[in-house]
Amino acid sequence: MNLRLLKVDTEGVIGVGSVVKFKLNRTRHVGEVFSVRSGKDPKIEVIMYDKRLRPQIKGQGSFHIRTIRQSACKLIDENFKFKRSDDYAIGDVVMLKRRASTKYGVIIGFHHPDGLSSTSHENGYNGTDMIDCVEIDKRGLRRKRTLTGDIKRFESTPDKLTICEVDLWNRTGPKIITR
């Protein structure tokens, strides 16, 4: 996503839950405010977003957080909706629909159909690679296994896959919701 296209709100006040854009080391970044420190020079703590406008997560599972001066941030308009494109990333939950059968899975990798090296891991999905998935149950999100105990896998092209969302707070347990 081009961060220059994000609409800026000049009249709003930056508070907890606001989405802001700012510069660090000459590069533009976007993040969500989760703490505001008052004082002579007010500062805010921000959960950093990546270029796909998803929270950045460190290796330990915690969010990538920065502290920034409030004057260096610009508030993004609250009515602006992030346009989620169908970019595929490792860990996305997807649905594969072939004729009458439907499978659900989690993306675990990419590979080029001709055996060439893939750039999808470093630069995001490039549109030509095959997508490797582990098959999961629609309810409970458990990995499916074969009779011998091996994990079921499948691969597909992007035109047959649909990205899904997961409702973790459903009253009957985790549930996959198609967009």
What span, in angstroms and rounded, lies between the C-alpha atoms of 56 and 63?
A: 6
Element (H, E) at 41: none
Element (H, E) at 169: none
Beta strands in 50-117 (DSSP E): 65-69, 74-75, 93-98, 101-111
Each residue's pLDDT, cut to its tens digit, for the chain (179 residues) gives: 455 556 676 677 888 888 888 888 888 888 888 888 888 888 999 998 887 677 888 877 788 899 998 888 888 876 655 555 567 888 889 999 988 889 999 999 999 888 888 878 777 788 888 999 999 998 888 999 999 999 999 999 888 899 888 888 878 888 888 87
Query: Residue 151: which region, alpha, beta or left (left: phi > 0; alpha: psi -120 to 50)?
Result: beta
What residues contact residue 69 under an 8 Å CB cut-off, 6+ apart? 41, 42, 43
- Are 35 and 43 in contact by the 8 Å Cβ rule? The answer is no
